[in-house]
Structure 1
Amino acid sequence: MHRRQILIGGTALALMPLASRFATAAETFEVTRSESEWRAMLTDKEYYVMREEGTERAFTSPLNDITAPGTFYCKGCDQALYVTETKFKSGTGWPSFYQPLPDAVATKPDPGIFGTRTEVHCDRCGSHLGHVFDDGPPPTGKRHCINGIAMVFRPEGGGDPVVG
Structure 2
Amino acid sequence: MRKLVVLFLLAITVSTTVNAQNKKKYAVDKTNNEWKKLLTPKQYFVLREAGTERPNSSPLNFNKKEGTYVCAACKTPLYKSENKYDSGSGWPSFDRAIKGNVELDTDYKLGYARTELKCNTCGGHLGHSFNDGPKKTTGKRHCINGVALEFIPNK
Question: Which of the five TM-score ranges fits, normalised by the shorter chain?
Answer: 0.7 to 0.9
RMSD (Å), alpha carbons: 1.6
1:83-133 Cα deviation digits (max 9, x unpaired): 110000000000000000111100111113452110000000000000000
Distance in 1 of aligned mates of 2:110 and 2:142: 21
Separation in structure 2 between the aligned mates of residue 102 and residue 113 of structure 1, nearest angstrom: 28
Q: Which residue pairs with 1:89 in the alignment?
A: 86
| Residues in 2 aligned to 1:104 and 1:68: alpha-carbon distance in whole angstroms | 21
Structure 1 CA distance, aligned partners of 2:42 and 2:54?
10
- Corresponding residue of 1:143: 141
Distance 2:111 2:119 in 1: 25
How far, CA to CA, are the matches of 2:151 and 2:100 in structure 1? Answer: 18
1:128 aligns with one of 125, 137, 142 = 125
Displacement of 1:55 in angstroms is 0.2
Instruction: Please name the residue that 1:31 is paired with.
Output: 28
User: How far apart in 1 are the matches of 2:72 and 2:28?
Assistant: 12
Q: How many aligned positions are there?
A: 136
Q: Say which of 130, 150, 153 aligns to 1:152.
A: 150
* Corresponding position of 1:60: 57
* TM-score calculated relative to the size of structure 1: 0.79
Alpha-carbon distance, 1:68 to partner: 1.1
- Provide structure 2 residue ranges, at least 5 long, that are not aligned to the other structure: 1-15
Identity of matched residues, %: 46
- Partner residue, 2:40: 43
Secondary structure of 2:91's counterpart equals: coil
- Give the Cα–Cα distance (whole angstroms) in 2 for the partners of residues 76 and 113 of structure 1: 25
Match of 1:116 in 2: 113
Aligned residue number for residue 9 of structure 1: none
Gaps of 5+ in 1: 1-18, 158-164
Please give the secondary structure, in 2, of the residue aligned with 1:36.
Answer: helix
2:96 matches 1:99: yes
Distance change (3 Å), C-alpha of 1:113 and 1:102: closer
TM-score (norm 2): 0.83
Determine the C-alpha separation between the residues in 1 that align with 2:111 and 2:32.
Answer: 30
